[in-house]
Each structure stands twice: as C-alpha cells, then as structure tokens.
Amino acid sequence: MTQQYGILAFPAKHSLSPVVFDAAFKAIDTDSQFGFFEIPENELGDFMDRMKAGKVSGLSVSLPYKEMILNYMDQVSEDAKKIGAVNTVVNRDGVFYGYNTDFVGSSQALKEAVGDLKNKQVVILGAGGAARAVIYGLLKEGANVLGILNRTLDHAEKLAKEFSEMFGVEIKAFSSENLANTLSFQKELIQAETILIQTTSLWTLQPDITAAESEKFCPAEYVKYFSTVMEIVYKPLFTPLLKTARALGKKIITGDKMFLYQASEQFKLFTGKEAPMEVMRKTLNENLSQ
C-alpha cells in the first residue's frame, strides 16, 4: 500500500525533505510518497484532526511547529520530552507518536568531523528550539558545553539553567549582542580545540544579510578562538559565518550533514528499515544550492 508522508512547516516549500525521502523510498522499492504540508498556524488543529482519521503515515516537522506539535501527540519519546520539541511524527492507526531526531543528526554530523564528543568543548550560538536539540545531543555524548550565547540573554540563561540541572553540569549564558564582551571568558576557557555551533535562524530570516551585518553578528575577531565551526542550516550551504571560519583556516561543518543524519533516523522511524544513506546523500548533494 502507498504510504503518504510529508514535511509540516510554514513556509515549507524550501525544504529538501521531499526530494530526499522520495529518492530513499524508491531505493528500497516502496511506492511511498513524501509531500509538502505547508499549513498556516490557524489551520494546524484541523490538519492534525484530518491526519488522525486519514492516510498520512508520518510527518517531518519544522519551523514553527516543533514545540507546538507536542500538544497533538499521544505518546512522546523520552528524548523529545527532555528537548521539549518533536521533529518526527509517526501515525500508527490513529495514534500519534512524537520523536526528536535532530539531536542525533547534530551529534552525528559533529562526530563525523571531530570524532568522539566526550569532553570536547563546545560553545553554542542561539537559544531557540534548534539549540535545545543540539545541546541535549552534546550533553548526552558527554561533551562539555561551555556557554550559550544569545541575542536575548534571558533565553540563554533559561536554557543554560534547564540543561545544567538536567545533566548536572555547569553551562554559562552570555548575550551575543557584543561578543567582544565574552572574549575574556573565551580566552580563559577556550583551548585549542573548542567548537562553535551556530543554531540561530538569522541566515534563514535574513537571506540578504550584508557582509557588515554578519561580521557584526559574529566577528572574525571572535571566530578565531575556535578550531571548528558548525552550522545547522543548509540554506545557504556556506553561510557568512562559515566563510569567515574557512578564511581563517578553521574546520567547517555545513548544515547539510545534520539534515542528512536527522533524516536517516526519521526514515528508520517511518519504515522500520535502515536508510539508504548513499542515495540520500547523493540526492541531497545534487539539490543543495551553494
């Protein structure tokens, strides 16, 4: 039987999930399909009601619904509960199961580049829903999250407190409005091998950002303290921050890596089968814009 899946987001049209999942379904010889569910917020309830009674077997959930969707779940995995966000919904005979595969994706992407994460030092830029999954994944792997830097200090403090308590560690919070102010913290704590992970939605919200604005957001003077810089968005693939890091000779990790690994975990949850990684990787690469 043809199973229907889709990306639930608003807007959704930029997502590469449909093309990557369709190629993966074809590779394992099912005629399942993956579409776009671009649903405005005031229609979310109706959409979920229709899904309960209908034929959609699963969802990839993206902005702005990863937290809101929790209200519609019948069962939520322990990881998704702790993160406070769901990016994967599986519909088993009208019962909605919520999972989070983002934390697996981000940790896997980082491990691939720097090896075992235990005791690795990491600084996080951003304190939104995406940051929550990344931080959770890092702490689960035994990484040392030194600090969370965010435009709104309150948000960083809230996240730092919550995860410090959850994992019994100390995480500091800083305003990212003037990163130079945190340099003394960086100099003290950052040794040769510290990783910076950029999780804000800045590049998505401001695709036409000027060089001066992006330099203000994360100056080269700051980036130079890190050995590795990772992004979790794949549009654009080489963000202004990654360009700065690359010019400074740093190791960079583009956002397509996290996308691929979170999608392969979703594939397992949707189908119960291992994901055809090479097909997914190749399709993703063919569709990424530089």
Phi and psi angles of residue 186, each rounded to the nearest 5 degrees, phi first: -65, -45
User: Of 24 and 124, which has the nearer Cβ to ligand ATR?
Assistant: 124
User: Of 28 and 64, which has the nearer Cβ to ligand ATR?
Assistant: 64
CB of 182 vs ligand ATR, minimal distance in Å: 15
List 26, 52, 140, 155, residue binding ligand ATR (CB under 6 A): 155
User: Of 2 and 152, which has the nearer Cβ to ligand ATR?
Assistant: 152
DSSP code per residue over 49-117: HHHHHSSEEEEEE-TT-TTGGGGG-SEE-HHHHHHT---EEEEETTEEEEE--HHHHHHHHHHHHH---
d(CA 116, CA 110): 9
Helix (H) or strand (E) holding 125: strand 121-125
List 7, 109, 135, 202, residue binding ligand ATR (CB under 6 A): 202
3-state secondary structure 20-66: HHHHHHHHCCCCCEEEEEECCHHHHHHHHHHHHHCCEEEEEECCCCC
CB of 229 vs ligand ATR, minimal distance in Å: 16
Site residues for ligand ATR, window 34-73 (CB under 6 A)? 63, 66
66 catalytic residue (yes or no):
yes
Phi and psi angles of residue 35, each rounded to the nearest 5 degrees, phi first: -120, -170
CB of 133 vs ligand ATR, minimal distance in Å: 9
Q: Choose the catalytic residue: 13, 66, 118, 250.
A: 66
x/- contact string, 175-194, with ligand ATR (CB under 6 A)? --------------------
User: Of 157 and 271, which has the nearer Cβ to ligand ATR?
Assistant: 157
| DSSP summary character for residue 218 | S
List 14, 26, 140, 151, residue binding ligand ATR (CB under 6 A): 151
